[in-house]
Amino acid sequence: MILIVGLGNPGEKYKKTRHNLGFMVVDGLQKIHGFSDWQMKKKFKAEISQGTINNQEVILAKPQTFMNDSGMAVKRLIHDLRFKNYDLFVVHDDLDLELGKIKVVRNRGSAGHKGIQSIIDQLATKDFVRFRLGIGSNLKLKMATEDFVLKSFTKEENEVIKETIKKTCQLIVSYEFNCC
């Protein structure tokens, strides 16, 4: 069984922002593979969707704790559903990667991403798979990081993001069944 967590912030206000790219990817997986409808599970502090991919049971999760406290939900899911850390995939935005770039890492530090740091702190390990998705750099726009990640993508960027979501969904499925 695999747990795939997309990081983001709950609520309509944040739905199409850069920081919610992780949510967008798990929404894509849910639709592509015909998973169950999203259900809020208060005990996990997350929305959950379940299904199978190539006969492998998969749980998708969107923590509803806000980005910087994502670790609370992930810890609860790991503990209560008896997952191992190596069964955890986390999908998140990454300010250090150019728009559309995808990088897969395992057993790495947070590089300043507060949602990832929360997960590392709560699990007391960094040994899990991360799908880092480039959202561009705020340096070009010279704005605060918090402001940049909470901005929506431009019309032009949305085309790149659609392709990024599609490629990430394909990559997760191939990674899942080729490595674990």
Q: Is 92 an active-site residue? A: no
Identify the pLDDT of residue 134: 96
Catalytic residue among 19, 79, 92, 113: 19
Q: Which domain holds residue 79?
A: 2-179
Q: Tens of pLDDT along 138-168?
A: 666 778 888 889 999 999 999 999 999 999 9
Q: Tens of pLDDT along 85-108?
A: 889 999 999 999 999 999 999 999
Q: Give the rounded percent of residues in the chain with a pLDDT score beyond 70.
A: 95
Domain total in the chain: 1
Looking at the predicted structure, is the pLDDT value of residue 79 above 70? yes
The domain spanning residue 82 has which CATH number? 3.40.50.1470
Identify the pLDDT of residue 136: 87
Looking at the predicted structure, is the pLDDT value of residue 177 above 90? no
Long-range CB contacts (within 8 A, 24+) of 121-125: 121/71, 122/71, 122/72, 122/74, 122/75, 123/71, 123/74, 123/75, 123/78, 123/85, 125/85
Find the radius of gyration of the CA atoms of the chain.
15
Q: Tens of pLDDT along 17-53?
A: 999 999 999 999 999 999 999 999 999 999 999 999 8
Of 74 and 56, which is predicted with more confidence? 74
Identify the pLDDT of residue 66: 93
What residues are paired with 171 via a beta bridge? none
